[in-house]
Amino acid sequence: MLREIELKASAGLPTLLLFFILLILALGGMGYGGRHQMPLVGAASLLAVVVIFVSFAGFFVVNPGEAKAVQLFGQYKGTVRTQGFWWANPFFSKKLISLRIRNFETQKLKVNDSRANPIEIAAIVVWKVVDTAEALFEVDSFATYVAVQSESAVRAVAQSYPYDSHGENEEALSTHTAEVSMSLQKAVQDRLARAGVDVVEARISHLAYSPEIAQAMLQRQQAGAIIAARSRIVEGAVGMVEHALEMLSQKGIVVLDEERKAQMVSNLLVVLCSERAASPVVNAGSIFG
């Protein structure tokens, strides 16, 4: 497995100045050789001019957020990451690779959650290249590799969680976004480690039941919400009735036998738990009549 090697290139401006000086001297040597009929001096000067012009091909620029991976006749020699104007062996081939942060959104995938319910899910993966050698030489196309492996990780994570949680401590896709995001990021990172890629963030961008079961699941969610609300209402109503009976007994406002207490409890629960506002009936006679 190839690992990135830092390549120390020569500073471009001083090298360029040196080449210009050498070029002037070489051109002067060619003129001197021609005037004094010294073919060896002229030939050497001509050769120097050719070498200098070939050396100009070794200059290159590294922009911020970029790197140049260098090869010599197919052999990896190193990577220049430092921004600036540089010179290296003119026979080096230089491959530009971006080190900037990128993001990729998967397609809407249809998968089954841990309860075998079909759902639609998509995710956004934020990533960057951290090892240029692995990114270029370990995989065919690291951008395509990121896309395919990200979708694979999304499928695996979606199959590990239920869509909705049915218990207090049960993690679910729709309710535990932070935990699911951490799990998704780890799953994507494990798959992309060989490509020299670091996953900065991974989050679900779309989550829904599949259309064929969406209506049925919506009714189930509504039923669950109604049951939870009813349970809360009943719990509160029982507490209010208990408090009312306790206050009546402590202050001695009225003394009720067990049958009257049961009737009062029944009436209060009907009033408090009813979906509609109760219509009061005023009893002008005896309450025991």
The CATH number assigned to the domain with range 102-209 reads 3.30.479.30
On the question of pLDDT at 35 being above 70, the answer is no
Domain edges within the chain = 10-98, 102-209, 214-273
- 202, 184 in Cβ contact below 8 A? yes
60-113 tens-digit pLDDT = 999 999 999 999 998 999 999 999 999 999 999 999 999 999 999 999 999 998
Provide the whole-model pTM.
0.67
On the question of pLDDT at 284 being above 70, the answer is no
- 136, 142 in Cβ contact below 8 A? yes
pLDDT of residue 70: 93
Share of the chain above pLDDT 70, in %: 78
| 218 contact partners, CB below 8 Å, separation of at least 6 | 209
Amino acid identity for residue 35 in this structure: R
